[in-house]
Amino acid sequence: MSRPHADSQDLFSIADLAREFGISTRAIRFYEAKGLLSPERVGATRIFRRRDRARLILILRGKRLGFSLRDISDYLSLYDANRSQQVDLLLGKVDERLALLERQRDDLETTIAELHEIKKLADQRLVKTG
């Protein structure tokens, strides 16, 4: 959507957002179907405003950080609510995510150490038989 006038600076087409964020229009429609985005309609055309763009940024950041669509939806549902409720929810979800990632990191470190030990034993066995 071209933006020749200052007041249209706040309007985005689905193609504009898809191009800007490097995602498909299908992904944007999926987020809309899940109730995470609510573009206006002019006929069959979706018109996104700055608020939709900001929500899309939060959705994509949440996905990149590994949050579920449910978590993202819960957070966005407080978008216009009490700011401290939103921050409290965010902190709780971040703490949960950090704990999970730290457990996964510990598991990975254990697995890596075990694999190094297996490799070392296998290398020693090859030297003895070779």
| C-alpha 123 chain-centroid distance | 42
Q: What is the pLDDT of residue 83?
A: 80
Nearest to 54 by CA among 39, 67, 68: 39
Q: Can you tell me the distance from the alpha carbon of 20 to that of 111, in angstroms, rounded to the nearest whole number?
A: 39
Q: What is the pLDDT of residue 8?
A: 54
End-to-end CA distance of the chain: 70
Query: What pTM was estimated for this model as a whole?
Result: 0.74
Mean pLDDT for back-to-back runs of 10 residues, the chain (130 residues)? 51 96 97 95 92 96 95 86 84 94 97 96 85
Q: Can you tell me the distance from the alpha carbon of 64 to that of 12, in angstroms, rounded to the nearest whole number?
A: 23
CATH 1.10.1660.10 for the 1-67 domain, yes or no: yes
Q: Which two tokens stand for residue 19?
A: 């191009």
Sequence spans of domains, the chain = 1-67, 81-130
Residues in the chain: 130
Q: Looking at this protein, which amino acid is placed at residue 108?
A: L
Q: Can you tell me the distance from the alpha carbon of 89 to that of 114, in angstroms, rounded to the nearest whole number?
A: 38
User: In whole angstroms, how far apart are CA 99 and each of 69, 105, 106?
Assistant: 19, 10, 11
**H-assigned helices in 1-130:** 14-21, 25-33, 50-64, 69-77, 83-129
